[in-house]
């Protein structure tokens, strides 16, 4: 997996640091004497070394991998900033072409099983464009992908449900470990870590907040563990014989998939081999001349014997705030408030057990407080913080120990994941049209029937991990990750003054 030779920064209004070029020098063979060579640039932008006798040699372009990007602190931007031309739909097409070739040569046993998992946010974006339900999109995508040669098409909401359940358990453990005190140690607050843009930002510039990150894997990487471990065992094959593609709303998900934490050293394979954004999938439809509006529907593949897609209560950030607050209220204080009720309160519905505040009157920074039924004093203080502008304010509060939050749901993109950099865009590029498009995508995302995550995945968890379920050693190993602070290495020559 690699980048194209050049990267550029776009004119995002959510940009973090002063403009800096991404630079990874190409090794140059030095000699003990100078021959008077010069470097020239032709009309195409290619660089050539020209010697005294007039001969020229084209210079090699720098090759930048996804891991180079993760290890570099030269730029910190939101998802749209890094334009990735590799690890895209072309890689999926290449693998499927190779599988067809192997089958035609009578070597079908060498072909890889191809599994595609689809994010609910991507389905919502496609549903809005084509004017159909998310259920219809799921079934049409299944038909298209299986016609191309994909073996299984799964809903990544299944991984989200497992992530929600384990995230809630992690929060309760950490709350009890600190006796509910915020900022005294490394237990509280708990900062959601599903958004790779936020994770990269924290690792590169604010390593001091990393101990507060939730260690539970994101839904994408939970699906990676399911595909490369559970499904590999079920299919009686090794993880490296499965090619796993995730269709996601965000370019930064490509970076997340490339993290070494999600690489299997034994089988030399990643839990997620390739990430295709919503826009790239739509481009694939155009390139293969598929009229998605008239594609027939195919039965859905499922890991829990269901024939429909479903949602979790909350925003397109994934429903972490709503579910974890509901779970913690029940486990810690014996207060029964459903995730759906928490979601309704977050949208403005009044309830005597909750206080809701929009910080600076901004919907991208909401505070939701659970009150004691008797004293009306705060029991749990949660917040949703979307967009880098609000994230910087959050980090400042954390560093100055002025934050009172027990849990923060974090997303790098304003309006959360419906506004991911890989999502489809409206034909009208005006800010007003874009804002309305994102709002409509969010509404489309919320139209699916909500299910409690534990009801969706309970039987599967015990089938996968045995009688100890999520308390088993395998579950704790496969469903958690870690974070790494990156030492600043910015090259001053790369700064745009």
Q: Strand 407-411 vs strand 242-248: parallel, antiparallel, or unpaired?
A: unpaired
Q: What's residue 11's pLDDT?
A: 39
Q: Residue 432 phi/psi, 5° resolution?
A: -65, -40
Q: What's residue 60's pLDDT?
A: 65
What's the rounded Cα separation, in Å, for the pair 171 and 187?
9
Q: Which residue has the tokens 């809005």?
A: 128
Q: What's residue 126's pLDDT?
A: 98
What's the rounded Cα separation, in Å, for the pair 218 and 481?
9
Q: What's residue 44's pLDDT?
A: 66
pLDDT, averaged in runs of 10, over the chain (497 residues) = 38 41 47 59 70 76 55 44 60 96 96 98 98 97 98 97 98 96 89 94 92 98 98 97 97 91 96 96 96 96 90 95 98 98 95 94 91 97 94 92 96 94 94 96 93 94 97 98 80 49
The helix (run of H) or strand (run of E) holding residue 365 is strand 365-371
Closest C-alpha among 382, 392, 273 to residue 322:
382
> For the chain, how far is it from start to end, CA to CA, in angstroms?
32
The distance of Cα 407 from the centroid of its chain, to the nearest Å, equals: 19
Q: What's residue 80's pLDDT?
A: 35
Q: What's residue 53's pLDDT?
A: 78
Q: What's residue 55's pLDDT?
A: 81
The pTM score is: 0.85
Q: What's residue 172's pLDDT?
A: 98
Q: What's residue 35's pLDDT?
A: 58
Q: Beginning with the edge strand found earlier in the chain, give each strand of the sheet holding 38-41 in spatial order.
A: 38-41, 47-50, 56-58
Closest C-alpha among 337, 128, 343, 374 to residue 249:
128
What's the rounded Cα separation, in Å, for the pair 292 and 285?
7
Neighbouring CB atoms inside 10 A of 185's CB total 12
Query: Are 151 and 115 contacting, i.e. CB atoms less than 8 angstroms apart?
Result: yes
- For 196, residues 6+ apart whose C-beta sits below 8 A from its C-beta are 218, 250, 252, 253, 255, 256
What's the rounded Cα separation, in Å, for the pair 476 and 497?
47
Closest C-alpha among 347, 342, 349 to residue 326:
342
Closest C-alpha among 259, 219, 269 to residue 486:
259
What's the rounded Cα separation, in Å, for the pair 67 and 61?
17
Query: Are 416 and 386 contacting, i.e. CB atoms less than 8 angstroms apart?
Result: yes
Q: What is the DSSP string of 254-269?
A: HHHHT-GGGEETTTTE
Angstrom CA distances, 438 to 90, 129, 134, 309, 446, stand at: 27, 12, 16, 21, 13
Q: What's residue 489's pLDDT?
A: 58
Neighbouring CB atoms inside 10 A of 52's CB total 9
């Amino acid at each position: 997996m690699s980048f194209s030779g050049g990267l550029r920064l776009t004119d995002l209004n959510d940009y973090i640091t002063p403009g800096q070029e991404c630079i990874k020098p190409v090794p140059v063979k030095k000699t003990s004497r100078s021959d008077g060579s010069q470097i020239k640039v032709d009309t195409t932008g290619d660089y050539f070394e020209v010697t005294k006798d007039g001969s020229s040699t084209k210079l090699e372009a720098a090759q930048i991998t996804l891991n180079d990007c993760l290890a570099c602190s030269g730029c910190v931007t939101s998802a749209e900033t890094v334009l990735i031309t590799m690890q895209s739909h072309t890689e999926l097409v290449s693998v499927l072409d190779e599988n067809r070739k192997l089958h035609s040569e009578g070597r079908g046993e060498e072909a890889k099983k191809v599994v595609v998992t689809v994010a609910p946010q991507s389905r919502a974006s496609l549903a809005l464009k084509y004017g159909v339900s998310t259920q219809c999109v799921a079934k049409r995508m299944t038909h298209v992908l299986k016609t191309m040669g994909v073996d299984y098409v799964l809903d990544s909401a299944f991984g989200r449900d497992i992530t929600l359940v384990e995230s809630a358990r992690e929060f309760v453990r950490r709350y009890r470990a600190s006796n509910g005190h915020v900022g005294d140690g490394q237990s509280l607050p708990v900062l959601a870590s599903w958004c790779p843009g936020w994770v990269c930002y924290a690792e590169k510039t604010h390593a001091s907040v990393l101990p507060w990150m939730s260690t539970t894997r994101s839904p994408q990487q939970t699906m990676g563990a399911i595909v490369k471990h559970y499904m590999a065992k079920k299919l009686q094959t090794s993880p490296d014989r499965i090619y796993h593609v995730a269709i996601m709303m965000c370019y930064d998900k490509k970076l997340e998939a490339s993290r070494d934490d999600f690489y299997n050293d034994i089988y030399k394979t990643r839990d997620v081999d390739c990430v295709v954004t919503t826009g790239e999938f739509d481009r694939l439809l155009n390139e293969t001349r598929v009229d998605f509006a008239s594609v027939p529907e195919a039965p859905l593949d499922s890991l829990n014997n269901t024939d429909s897609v479903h949602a979790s209560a909350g925003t397109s950030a994934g429903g972490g705030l709503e579910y974890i607050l509901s779970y913690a209220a029940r486990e810690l204080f014996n207060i029964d408030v459903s995730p759906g009720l928490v979601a309704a309160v977050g949208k403005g519905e009044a309830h005597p057990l909750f206080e809701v505040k929009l910080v600076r009157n901004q919907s991208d920074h909401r505070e939701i407080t659970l009150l004691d039924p008797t004293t009306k004093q705060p029991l749990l203080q949660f917040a949703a913080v979307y967009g880098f502008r609000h994230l910087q304010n959050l980090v400042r509060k954390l560093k100055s120990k002025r934050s009172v939050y027990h849990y923060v749901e974090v997303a790098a993109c304003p309006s959360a994941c419906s506004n991911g950099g890989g999502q489809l865009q409206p034909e009208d590029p005006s800010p007003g049209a874009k804002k309305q498009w994102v709002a409509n995508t969010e509404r489309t995302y919320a139209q699916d029937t909500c299910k409690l995550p534990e009801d969706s995945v309970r039987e599967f968890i015990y089938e996968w991990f045995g009688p100890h379920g999520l308390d088993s050693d395998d579950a704790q190993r496969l469903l958690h990750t870690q974070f790494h602070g990156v030492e600043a290495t910015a090259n001053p020559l790369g700064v745009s003054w």
